[in-house]
Structures are given as structure tokens and as C-alpha cells.
Amino acid sequence: MTREPASRTRILAPLALTGGVILVMVWLAGLLEFGKIAPGTAPPALPPPGKPLTVTEHPWPRALTVPARVISQSLTQVAAQVPGRVRHIHVQVGQRVRQGEPLLSLQAPEYEARVRQARGATVQARAHLSQVQADYERYRRLVREGAVSPREFEAMEARLQAAQGALSQAQAQEREAAVLQGYTVLTAPITGVVAARPVAVGDLAQPGGPLLTLYDPEEVQVEADVSEDQRRLLAPGLEVEVSAPAAGLETRVPLAEIFPLSQGDSRTFTVRTGRVRAPGLVPGMYARLRLPLPEARVVAIPRAALRRVGQLTFVTVLTAAGPASRPIQPGAEVEELVEILAGLKPGEQILLPEE
């Protein structure tokens, strides 16, 4: 009778030791957590009692952010009016220039030769007119003395008028040649900044071919494309928020233009702001327009009522059974209010912490 308990003890002891080792290994592996609540299995502990608040709807501003681009209506292309090779470039990209300042010179020998020829013709016509005027004065004295007939004097008058006409024609040709030669020096049509210069010294310039591009930094605007539904909510003069991250710009400007025609298959309409002035803002930059939408009514509560636990947000709700934690989905914030996208309904009561 005494051997049976001893043998049983010898059997149970190794089993107990094995079970203890297994428990220790499981605990070391982190599979047993004492005093911890798995995420999502239970709400966090309730805060101390606070002030009750009835959940209500509030008027809420709405806005739509659309991608935009910086443009310049003053973007001006400077093109050659006469053919020739680029002789000299007086400016660099990014340089500020004044209206009338030389930008680029062309080499066009034929226009220089035409100017010299026209000047020579003018000198000859002026010398011929001087000679004819001297003859005319002599004939006028002779006709008074009766030495020449009136008919001969009339012929002399005709010669004087022809000489005067020849001089006028030569002077006009000289001016025309000078104008054509002036086209070989391209000047700035506006005061602005050199945005592009696609040519180099020695390149052949053809009439109408762009050689430089200028823009006025005071005439920069922002434009974006909006849908048909969004266009109906906009009007010229409506203030919108403009931001350009690369230029560090955040400002408000009124809409200046809303294009009435859509852009092909995209069915979008272009909207354009008024002038935007900011250092470093250049055409082609990425920007954003924040367009106001009609105000809505949403469920919103004070930010102080929220409790964050990890990535979850809770509020304390007063129920028939007493205070209870409830997860909610917060949205945008305006001043001290937070929009509640899910988890609360108007009429429910929540607890605010004591101040």
C-alpha cells in the first residue's frame, strides 16, 4: 500500500517539471501577457468624471483643393524680323531687362550695304538739288530781265520740283534701309525677366523664329482646371487660397477669369486668378488652388473631448448604463472643433474633462 503513492509521485514529478518548463518558455516567448489587454478587445480606462455636453451639428466650411500651375500672361517671345546669323547675345537667362534694352544682335551685311547705298543716293540727290536750285535762281533773274522766255522758266521750275522729289525719295529709301538695319538689333519689348534663350552665337535666325522669351514678374497668375459641377460654384471676384510650395507662397487672391468653354474630352474648365506677387514665383511652377464650397452642417465636438490611445481616438459617451468609451473617426479641425466622421450622432451626450 505504501509503494503505490511513491510510484505515483515519481510519475507526477517529471510531468510537473516538464509543464513548468513549457510555461516558462511560453512566457519568455511573449505568448502570455499578464495584466495586458489585446488591441481592440476592450476600450481604455475611463477618465475621471467631467462636464456633460450634448452632441450637435455645426456649420462647417468646405473647400476643394485642385492642382494648378503658375502662368504669365505677359510671356513674350522675341523673334527676328529679318534673316541673319546671331552675332552677339547681350543678356543671360534670368536677367532683368528694361523695355528697349538690347537683347541680341544679328549679322546681316546686306542691310548694312543697303544703308550705305541709300546714304550715297541721298548725298547725290541733295547735291543735284543744290545745283538745280542755283540754276532756278539764275533763271528767275533772267526771266525778269527778259533774257529767257516764260516757257523756259517753267521748264526750270519742273526741273526744281523733280530734283526735290528725287531727294525726298532718296531720303525715304535711306530711312527704310535704316529701319531694316535696326531689325538686326533685337530690343526688349517689355520690362521683365529673360525666361528662355534657345539660340547661341552663330545660329541662323529666320523671320518669325523665337530667339528669346521674356515675362513680367508683376503679371504672374495661377490657373487650374475644374469640373463642370465645380465651375457652377465659382464666379469672378470669389477669393480663393493659393499656395506654391516651391516659392513658399500661401495667400488669398480673387478669381479673375472663368473660361466658358470646356477643354475637349476632359470636360474641364479653366479658372484663373488675378495677379499674384511673390518673390521666386515663376511661370511653370506647381501650385494649388483651394476653392470654397457651400457650407455644410456636420457633427463636431471640442478637441478637448478626444482621447488618443495609440492610433485610435476615443470619447466618453454617457449611456443608460453609465459612462462608456467609444472609438470615433475624427476629421478636419476648425479652431477648437473637430469634425466627427463616424461614431457619434446628434443628441448623444459626451463627457468633457474638467478644466
Q: How far is CA 268 from CA 278, 286, 287, in A?
A: 28, 18, 18
- pLDDT tens per residue, range 46-68: 445 568 889 988 888 888 888 99
Radius of gyration of the chain (CA): 45
Any alpha helices (H) in the chain, and if so which ranges?
A: 3-28, 109-145, 150-182, 228-231
The answer on pLDDT for 225 being more than 50 is yes
CA dist., res. 325 & res. 338, Å (int):
18
Is the CB of residue 242 less than 8 Å from the CB of residue 287? yes
- pLDDT tens per residue, range 9-49: 555 555 555 655 555 454 444 444 443 434 444 444 444 55
Section 116-136 average pLDDT: 85
65-74+214-294 CATH, one of 2.40.30.170, 2.40.110.20, 2.30.300.10, 3.50.50.60: 2.40.30.170
- pLDDT tens per residue, range 231-276: 888 888 888 999 999 888 889 999 998 888 877 777 888 989 999 8
Residue 39, C-alpha cell as written in the block = 488591441
Section 321-340 average pLDDT: 88
Query: For residue 68, which of 293, 214, 281 has the smallest C-alpha distance?
Result: 281
232-236 — which CB contacts under 8 Å span 24+ positions? 233/291, 233/292, 233/293, 233/294, 234/258, 234/271, 234/291
Query: For residue 76, which of 225, 273, 258, 216 has the smallest C-alpha distance?
Result: 216
What DSSP letter does each residue of 253-289 carry, written as one string?
EEEEEE-SS--GGG--EEEEES----TT--TT-EEEE
Section 212-221 average pLDDT: 88
Phi-psi region of 22 (alpha: psi -120 to 50; beta: other; left: phi over 0): alpha
pTM listed for this prediction: 0.55
The CATH number given to 109-183 is 1.10.287
Is the CB of residue 134 less than 8 Å from the CB of residue 89? no
Q: Where are the domains of the chain?
A: 1-36, 51-60+297-352, 65-74+214-294, 81-105+189-211, 109-183
- Architecture of the 81-105+189-211 domain: Beta Barrel (2.40)
CA dist., res. 39 & res. 23, Å (int):
23
pLDDT of amino acid 17: 57
Q: Which letter does DSSP use for residue 134 in this model?
A: H
CA dist., res. 272 & res. 322, Å (int):
56
Q: Does domain 51-60+297-352 have CATH number 2.40.420.20?
A: yes
Section 209-215 average pLDDT: 89
The single residue listed with the C-alpha cell 478644466 is 355
